Every structure is written in C-alpha cells, then in structure tokens.
Structure 1
Amino acid sequence: MQDSPAVVVLRYGHRPGRDDRMTTHVGLTARALGADRVVLPGNAGQSAETVRDITERFGGPFDVDLTDELDATIRDWAGAVVHLTMYGEAVQDVQENVRRAHREDGDPILVVVGGEKVPFEVYEHADWNVGVTNQPHSEVAGLAVFLDRLFEGRELEQEYEDADQRVIPQALGKRVEDVDDEA
C-alpha cells in the first residue's frame, strides 16, 4: 500500500493454457488487496495484459512486470521474502514478525506465490515460509488471507487513483459506473 514500504507479489511458474486464469487471479488479488506490484513469469503475457487493463479501468497505482529471471528476482531481493506454502509456519504465528519487518524495519516484502512445483531453493531463501492453512487450497486464497493479515484490513478501504470505472456497493445486483457519471 502506498503509505508503507513496497509489497510485491511474485508468481513463481506459469503453465500456459493450464494456469492462465489462476495467474491472472494472483495479479488481480495482489492489486485489490494492497500490493504495489506483481511480477509474473515471462510466458504469462496474457495475464499481465488483463491485470494492466483492470488497473487502467479501475485505478491504481499498481505495476505489472514480466521476467524470465524468477530465481534471480528472489535471490537479489533487497528486503524480506515470504513464500506462501501450505507446508509453512502458520500465518497467525508469524504475522507479527512479518509486520514488524515491513513497518518498523522498513523492509519491502516479496511475497512468492507458487504455480508449478517450487524448487527447494525458494524455501531456503525465504525469510518465512508461511501457510494460511496446512490443508490443500488455492494459492489465490492463500495470497488473499496473507495480505489481509499483513495490512490488518486497511487494504479494504484503499482509494484508487485515476479510475475510469468504479464498483458501486449494493445489497443486490451489480453496478459499475464511469467515474465521470458519479458527480
């Protein structure tokens, strides 16, 4: 979120055709729940374009990058690395330490979200291997829970700049308006 050190989500791996929707949802979830940027594998161009289109229409700031150097991005990260895995320590047990590193120490956070099999080196390089539950679940769900715990719900109230469209909350139905129509 804009008022704290950067939070960047890295999608580790992408199988075209199989992971397109999931990779897109990792990017959309990162954007909607307070991350500043998502880094996607170089072969996830369609997912990157979808997330950029949503950011253009519904506001930002939010950046999308593509890279073929996922391991180097993790290895060279100048901050704390959180790897989300169902095999990690319980989020409720480490959340205070992660928040402290982020807020008090001013460390930018790289949140690694696996796609295909994540090599053991990622586990070794992470400052925290974090599980939101030790049961099989979606990596998108894990990311959402982790970001909400990191930001303590503040991300739910964030304002998006330069939006062309905005969702209007209501009890029933769907309503999306152009920002110019709201005045």
Structure 2
Amino acid sequence: MHDDQEVAVLRLGHRPGRDERMTTHVGLTARALGADRVLFPDNAGQSLETVADITDRFGGPFEVELTDSPNAVIRGWDGRVVHLTMYGERIQDVEGDIRSAHRDEGEPLLLVVGSEKVAFDVYEAADWNVGVTNQPHSEVAGLAVFLDRLFEGRELEREWVGADRRVIPMETGKRVEPADGNGETDENEETGGDGETGGDGETDDNGPESA
C-alpha cells in the first residue's frame, strides 16, 4: 500500500477471448486488496480499460499498465519477486520472511500470477515460490489470500482518493452514493443495475463475473 514500499502484480500470460474475466479480476483484486500497480500483457487491453474505469470511479491511487515483455519485468525488478503457485512453499511457512523483507528491509515486491503453464525460468527467478494452498485453486484466490496475509488486514481500512462514488455498507440492499455525499446515486444509472460490468459485459455483485 502507499505507506509501504511498492507492491506490484504481474499477470503472466493472457489468452484473448478466454481469460478476459480472470485477467480483469486479477487487476480488481490487486487494487481492492492493497497493491499499488498491476501489469498486464500487451494483448489484455480490454482488462486494462475495465480496471482503469473502476479506479476512476471508485478511487485510487492505483496504476494499471501493459507490458510487451513480462519476463523482462521479472528480470529487471529492483526488489523481491514472489511467484504464486500451488507448487510453492506453504504461505504460513514464509509469510513472515516476506513481510520482513517488504516492511522492515524496504524491499518492493513483485507478485507474479500465471495464466497458461508457467515456464521453469519463472520459478528460478523468484525469491519465493508460494502456495496459499497446495491444492488446485484460481490465481485470483491465491492473490487475494496472499495480499491479506502480507498486509495483515490493514488493506481493508485504506482510504480511497479521487473517487466519484462510494459503496455504503448495509445489512441488506445496495446503496452507492456520490463520494462528496451530496445525494444518493441511482443504482441502475451508476452500476448498470447489478454490480460492476466486467470485460465481457456480464455482471454480478462482486465485480466482473468469475470465470
């Protein structure tokens, strides 16, 4: 988060027409749970537009970028690299060392999440290969659990800057209002009727519909 050294998320691989929702979810999860920046492959422009639009409307700071060489990002990273994979070390065994490197030693972190089969070079380049569980799971789940463990829940209390609107927590129902508090936002006009629109136009209450 912005009171710590940078945490960036690199999406490694993107299959147009197949990965739109999952890649978008990687970006939305990174933003919502404390990362400072996400880097998508250069063929994931639709996901970039969706995440940038959410940031414009619901606040930041958060950056979203495209890269034509994800492997070069890993090689050139000035900090520590964490590769999230079900084959990695258990998060409960290494999270303390990673937090210490980031928070105490001031090391920026690059979190790498895959799409297609990840080349062995990535495993070798990473300072840590980490599994939030050694059972099959999605990269979005792995990223969410890792970020919450890294920040120990502090990301849930962050303040959002530059938002046009905000969601008001309620026991039941939905309420979205202008960030300045002047009047209540019409749900259908502001959110498309039922949550945020994903990269393929489908919606649910938690953002773009899960793949």
Equivalent position amino acid for 2:133 in 1: T
Cα distance in structure 2, aligned partners of 1:18 and 1:138: 14
In structure 1, the partner of 2:25 is 25
In structure 2, the partner of 1:70 is 70
User: Does 2:160 match 1:160?
Assistant: yes
| Greater displacement, 92-101 / 169-178 | 169-178
Q: Which structure has more RCO (C-alpha within 8 Å, separation ≥ 6)? A: 1
Could you say what secondary structure the match of 2:97 adopts?
Answer: helix
Cα distance in structure 2, aligned partners of 1:182 and 1:29: 29
Q: How far apart are 1:180 and its partner, in Å? A: 2.6
Q: Percent identity?
A: 72
Q: How far apart are 1:23 and its partner, in Å? A: 0.1
Could you say what secondary structure the match of 2:86 adopts?
Answer: strand
Could you say what secondary structure the match of 1:27 adopts?
Answer: helix
Q: How far apart are 1:182 and its partner, in Å? A: 4.8
In structure 2, the partner of 1:137 is 137
Could you say what secondary structure the match of 2:55 adopts?
Answer: helix
In structure 1, the partner of 2:94 is 94
Cα distance in structure 2, aligned partners of 1:39 and 1:128: 19
Equivalent position amino acid for 2:146 in 1: F
Equivalent position amino acid for 1:26 in 2: V
Could you say what secondary structure the match of 2:61 adopts?
Answer: coil
Could you state the TM-score of these two structures normalised by the residue count of structure 2?
0.85
Cα distance in structure 1, aligned partners of 2:28 and 2:176: 17
Equivalent position amino acid for 2:174 in 1: K
Could you say what secondary structure the match of 1:181 adopts?
Answer: coil
Deviations 1:45-100 (A, max 9, x none): 00000000000000000000100110000011000000000000000100000001
In structure 2, the partner of 1:43 is 43
In structure 1, the partner of 2:204 is none
User: Does 2:79 match 1:79?
Assistant: yes
5+ residue gaps, structure 1, are none
Could you state the TM-score of these two structures normalised by the residue count of structure 1?
0.98
Q: Count how many residue pairs are aligned between Structure 1 and Structure 2.
A: 183
Cα distance in structure 2, aligned partners of 1:117 and 1:157: 35
Cα distance in structure 1, aligned partners of 2:173 and 2:137: 29
5+ residue gaps, structure 2, are 184-211
RMSD of the TM alignment (CA)?
Answer: 0.9
Cα distance in structure 2, aligned partners of 1:83 and 1:146: 11
Deviations 1:137-171 (A, max 9, x none): 11100000000000000000001001001010011
Q: How far apart are 1:173 and its partner, in Å? A: 1.3
In structure 1, the partner of 2:53 is 53
Cα distance in structure 1, aligned partners of 2:182 and 2:140: 32
In structure 2, the partner of 1:106 is 106
Q: Structure 1 residue runs of 4+, over 2 Å off?
A: 180-183
Cα distance in structure 2, aligned partners of 1:102 and 1:21: 30
Could you say what secondary structure the match of 1:180 adopts?
Answer: coil
Equivalent position amino acid for 1:178 in 2: P
